[in-house]
Structure 1
Amino acid sequence: MSRTTVTTTALVVLVWAALLSFGGVAAETVMLYPNIFADPPASLDRAREFLVAGGPADYFPPLGLAVVVTGLASVVLTWRDPRLRWWVAGAAAVFVACEFLFSVFFFWPRNEIMFVDPIGTHPAEELRRVAAEFVAGHRVRLAGGAVTAALAFTALLRQVRATAPAAATGSAGSTGERLPR
């Protein structure tokens, strides 16, 4: 397999994983969060009862790892290509900063309070405050996912345009002229 094929494949997987991650966060925002954070602490208790067979904590860590691994592999594969380098490095950096590090330092402690600590450990007012902080901070994660996906997609698009057969051979259509139907 050629380096171009490996690079393009890595970028496709990166875009796919980044879009799945962003889509998951966006879906969670509109489907789960209105229920989970509607009326803490009662809504947090209902969420604990509902999310027993599976939940965001089962979905996002493996998907996040896939984005990080394919992001790092894509950075290595594209580093010598100035057309792609900063798009891919930017996508990886934004994801690590907004999805991983922000989650570890901001969301994980709040998840612990809302969903792991035994019910009754924290007063209702603290649960309401933590839930409000979580929802407000979630905007960073949502924006980070969107930026990651957009940067990765831009890199893939640039790679495909640069390596497509029409671009290499200069055939009809590569200069914008109309092809017959």
Structure 2
Amino acid sequence: MSTVSLPVTTERLVVRLFTQDDLDDLYAYQSLPDVARYLYRPPLTREQCAESLARRVGGTPWAEDGDSLALAVCRADDAGVLGEVVLKLASARARQAEIGWVFNPAHGGRGYAIEAARAAAALAFDELGAHRLFARLDVLNTGSVRVCERLGMRREAHLVENDLDGERWGSEYVYAMLARERQADRA
């Protein structure tokens, strides 16, 4: 894996690799229908969460298209997992990475998602060498729209009814930011 400095600490959070001890917290939000509806998949069973956790522990290499880094997000004063941020290498050649986040709704409305997403974006640009960072999200997921906009990402696309979730057609936004835009925004 490319060298990344983990854990990352922010004002209120610790962003770290998942451990086997995180199963209960992971299942607590990945099993919720309200969480799964924006992920175009059904809620995960405890067994599926355990399998997912086994893949996440220790991270993955960051060298080939599809490699990903899923990170647990915890409050600095509490070890429990609030949610996760994920960086996926979409194109190694073009240095494009996708960012995503999933949080337990019990911890919503406190700004944890934007704080963790900023930390993950810094990892993507500053340590993993991303040229372009993008996010894909359901247009009905207004919380994630706000996170993208607060990160300084621009809306690049609105894909209409591009995915089928059971019997519901879902539409998607694509937001993105280039490394140079982030640098200019920080200056």
**TM-score, scaled to structure 1:** 0.24
Q: Greater relative contact order (Cα 8 A, min sep 6): structure 1 or 2?
A: 1
Q: Higher helix proportion, which one?
A: 1
Structure number with the higher strand fraction is 2
TM-score, structure 2 length as denominator? Answer: 0.24
Larger Rg: 1
